[in-house]
């Protein structure tokens, strides 16, 4: 592990960033196929390995252990108010809840009688409304029943509402700390959109930020701090934005940076799914 950490730190010194800040970066789990969906829950980090159809649970004392297998190709993960794991499942093409007895309950798998594409990421509001993205990453054109890639809201009564069908590949999704703004990344247009959230619905779609140029990797998952700072997994690592959309910093990482979650205690710690590895990044400032 020490050699692995040294390799990562040496590699990062050769990747330019827009900030001179230095953060502590550790590899805490490796040897996976393609990791996603990081979630800090119940004093542990939960994350998906999509091709392995496995959800892992990591703790500092024990490392990574299998928590759910098979996971139906689970990608994004969150916990509901009762502590149950909610999963965006690529293979099953649904949002599902993992029950205490190990069974799974489908919460959403179709819209207007047509199967969802491959639910990707999700976020749960304090009011119980679940928002998720549904790009066709895990389905072929022949398998795709919906004619669009959607952003959806699932009510507490199970009603599924389409928020947006105009994004090319909606991917990461997160709510602002006050839950008045919903952020969604459009992966391969390298854009982040913001929407107003109110009891009346989701309105005022606007471009929040975008990257110039084209990349092999898209904009992906996101995490948000209590002060509104947004951490976005993207083509060259983690992009850090303030609440106005100004790019504050790029934390450069190698390989494929897919998703990120944030733990705020005395400071800020990012857990990043980075293809075959999981990074723990201890930030050296409030950004």
Q: How would DSSP label each residue in 132-194?
A: EEE-STTS-TTT--SSS-EEEEE-TTS-EEEEES--SSEEEEEE-TTSSEEEEEEGGGTEEEE
Q: For 188-229, where are the E strands, in sequence order? A: 191-198, 201-210, 222-224
- The per-residue pLDDT for 119 is 98
pLDDT at position 93? 98
Per-residue pLDDT for the chain (287 aa), expressed as one digit of tens each?
434 443 444 344 333 333 436 899 999 999 999 999 999 999 999 999 999 999 999 999 999 999 999 999 999 999 999 999 999 999 999 999 999 999 999 999 999 999 999 999 999 999 999 999 999 999 999 999 999 999 999 999 999 999 999 999 999 999 999 999 999 999 999 999 999 999 989 999 999 999 999 999 999 999 999 999 999 999 999 999 999 999 999 999 998 999 999 999 888 999 999 999 999 999 987 55
**pLDDT score recorded for residue 16:** 37
Which domains occur in the chain, in start order?
34-261 (2.120.10.30)
| pTM > 0.85 | yes
Supply the pLDDT for residue 19. Answer: 41
201 vs 130, 153, 230, CA distance in Å? 13, 10, 23
CA torsion angle 165 46 93 205 (round to 10):
-10
What is the SS3 assignment for 5?
helix
Query: For residues 278 and 58, is the Cβ–Cβ distance under 8 A?
Result: yes
- Cα–Cα distance, 88 to 147 (Å, whole number): 20
Contact status, residue 104 vs residue 96, Cβ threshold 8 Å: yes
The strand order across the sheet containing 247-252 reads: 222-224, 230-234, 237-241, 247-252
User: Structure tokens of 121?
Assistant: 């990421």
pLDDT of residue 122: 98
**Contact (Cβ atoms closer than 8 angstroms) between residue 253 and residue 12:** yes
The count of C-alpha atoms lying within 13 angstroms of the C-alpha of 1, restricted to the half-sphere facing its C-beta, is: 10
Compute the chain's Rg from CA coordinates: 18
- Of 184, 176, 187, nearest to 211 (Cα)? 187
């Amino acid at each position: 592990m020490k050699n692995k950490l040294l390799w990562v730190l040496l590699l990062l010194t050769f990747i330019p960033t827009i900030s001179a800040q230095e953060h502590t970066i550790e590899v805490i789990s490796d040897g996976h196929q393609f990791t996603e969906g990081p979630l800090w829950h119940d004093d542990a980090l939960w994350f998906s390995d999509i091709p392995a159809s496995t959800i892992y649970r990591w703790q500092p004392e024990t490392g990574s252990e299998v928590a759910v297998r098979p996971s139906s190709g689970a990608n994004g993960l969150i916990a509901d108010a009762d502590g149950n794991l909610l999963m965006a499942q690529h293979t099953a093409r649904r949002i599902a809840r993992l029950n205490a007895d190990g069974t799974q309950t489908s919460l959403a798998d179709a819209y207007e009688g047509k199967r969802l594409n491959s639910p990707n990421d999700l976020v749960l509001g304090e009011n119980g409304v679940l928002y998720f993205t549904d790009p066709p990453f895990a389905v072929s054109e022949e398998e795709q029943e919906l004619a669009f890639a959607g952003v959806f809201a699932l009510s507490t009564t199970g009603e599924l509402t389409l928020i947006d069908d105009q994004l090319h590949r909606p991917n990461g999704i997160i709510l602002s700390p006050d839950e008045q703004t919903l952020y969604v990344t459009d992966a391969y247009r390298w854009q982040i959109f913001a929407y107003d959230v109110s009891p009346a619905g989701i309105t005022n779609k606007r471009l929040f930020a975008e990257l110039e140029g084209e990349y092999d990797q898209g904009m992906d998952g996101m995490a948000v701090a209590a002060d509104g700072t947004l951490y976005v997994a993207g083509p060259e690592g983690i992009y850090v934005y303030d609440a106005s959309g100004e790019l504050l910093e790029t934390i450069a990482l190698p390989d494929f940076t897919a998703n990120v979650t944030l733990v705020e205690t005395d400071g800020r710690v990012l857990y990043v799914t980075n293809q075959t590895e999981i990074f723990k990044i201890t930030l050296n400032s409030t950004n």
